Amino acid sequence: MFIDIHAHAYWQECPPADGRTRFAAPGEVIRRYDELGIERGALLPLIGPETYLPQSNEDILRMCADSGGRLFPFFNIDPRGMTNAPDAPLDIWMRHYIDRGCRGLGEIMPNLPFLDPRCQNLFKHAEAAGLPLVFDISHVLGTGYGFYDDPGLPQLEQTLRNFPRLNILGHGPAFWAEIARLETPADRGGYPRYPVMEEGVAIKLFRRYRNLWGDLSAGSGFNALARDRAHAARFLDEFQDRLLFGTDICTAAQELPLAGFLKELKAGGLLSETAFAKIARENAVRLLNLPETPLTGKRTGSACPNYRGKAVISCRRPDRVLFSGRKPKPACRGSRRPAGRRARDEEKTW
């Protein structure tokens, strides 16, 4: 079984992110988990103005509380939050959400340089709180989302050096593209298909900084492996203690090939049982201090009254009833969220 380090869901029916595609409801995420053999996953809030429809950390806490132990919460803070200053006391918010059971921080994705003083302030408080942090990264400023860094990831390296006790999870195209030496700097903005002829900066950073972990989710993480299977086997073996399975699921019908790819490598003898188990779930348990088995507990006050164990059906009137273990009242009409068109990639780029 897998533990997913990176998932997204919205509990209310909201406008489509791009005019067509809707985010998954929590029950749709859980159905995909059942299909793929994923026992549980981290639900990461999207809060920044750069991306989609900002949601609250409280939305995440509510969905996780109603998931029967299948989802557990991360929380998110924008480095511009509270006072939009490099000395903002973000630890106040961090303590609040840690006390409510959040296991990590992210997905942090403002379109600001890593070395912006406000971002460095966020990293400082996260390190002091002992929280792992998931970021997304961009190769451009002024459009899209994600921390900006230059070719060769010098700002990320300086951040790793500045905060040696902060476990930072690398994620996103501009990070994973640098698993190999780039043919052109423009390759940082996409999914390079050419094989790994020479190791890239990302691998050197993994060797140099023990606080760098790898979030293998989304198209970027999968492509970093699938572009060169032989290199993937060596990479997964060398860094098996700091790599984490993930999906970055956003839509109900999204293709999620990583689980099958890792199973194929194991079946073909390219990935040991030990390394597979670490990447699939054991590293997540260790990093996030998770219980070995999910905490289920009794669900009350469901985020959506149509919660039915494995499925949540989007409800247009979530205020009409609370979850009581019974079928929803007829007055609460729900409809499954349309799967929508497949995203151009799994990086939340529509």
Residue range 85-110, pLDDT digits in tens: 999 999 999 999 999 999 999 999 99
Structure confidence at residue 51 (pLDDT):
73
Task: Look up residue 10 and give its amino acid.
Answer: Y
Could you tell me the pLDDT band of residue 48, with boundaries at 50, 70 and 90? confident
Please give the mean pLDDT across all residues of the chain: 86
The per-residue pLDDT for range 304-322, each reduced to its tens digit, is 323 333 333 333 323 222 2
Is the pLDDT at 300 greater than 50? The verdict is: no
Helix (H, G, I), strand (E, B) or coil at 180: strand
Structure confidence at residue 314 (pLDDT):
33
Parallel, antiparallel, or unpaired: how do β-strands 133-135 and 137-138 relate?
unpaired
Structure confidence at residue 347 (pLDDT):
57
Q: Please, which residues bridge with residue 315 across strands?
A: 334
Give 201 or 53, the one with higher predicted confidence.
201
Structure confidence at residue 295 (pLDDT):
67
Once rounded to an integer, what is the mean pLDDT over residues 34-53? 92
Structure confidence at residue 16 (pLDDT):
75
The per-residue pLDDT for range 179-231, each reduced to its tens digit, is 999 999 999 999 999 999 999 999 999 999 999 999 999 999 999 999 999 99
CA distance 279 to 244: 5
Tell which residue, 145, 167, 233, 248, has the closest CA to residue 196. 233
Domains of the chain: 2-288 (3.20.20.140)
Helix (H, G, I), strand (E, B) or coil at 43: strand
CA distance 249 to 343: 11
CA distance 80 to 86: 8
**Omega before residue 28 within 30° of 0, cis:** no
Once rounded to an integer, what is the mean pLDDT over residues 61-77? 98
Structure confidence at residue 124 (pLDDT):
99
The per-residue pLDDT for range 104-125, each reduced to its tens digit, is 999 999 999 999 999 999 999 9
Give 173 or 294, the one with higher predicted confidence.
173
Specify the pTM. Answer: 0.85
Once rounded to an integer, what is the mean pLDDT over residues 286-304? 66
Q: Per the structure block, which two tokens stand in for 239?
A: 């860094």
Q: Is the separation of the CB atoms in 54 and 84 below 8 Å?
A: no
Once rounded to an integer, what is the mean pLDDT over residues 134-156? 96
Strand residues in the chain grouped as ranges (E):
2-7, 38-43, 71-73, 105-108, 133-135, 137-138, 147-148, 168-170, 212-215, 243-244
Could you tell me the pLDDT band of residue 346, with boundaries at 50, 70 and 90? very low
Look up residue 240 and give its DSSP letter.
Answer: T
288: left (phi over 0), alpha (psi -120 to 50) or beta: alpha
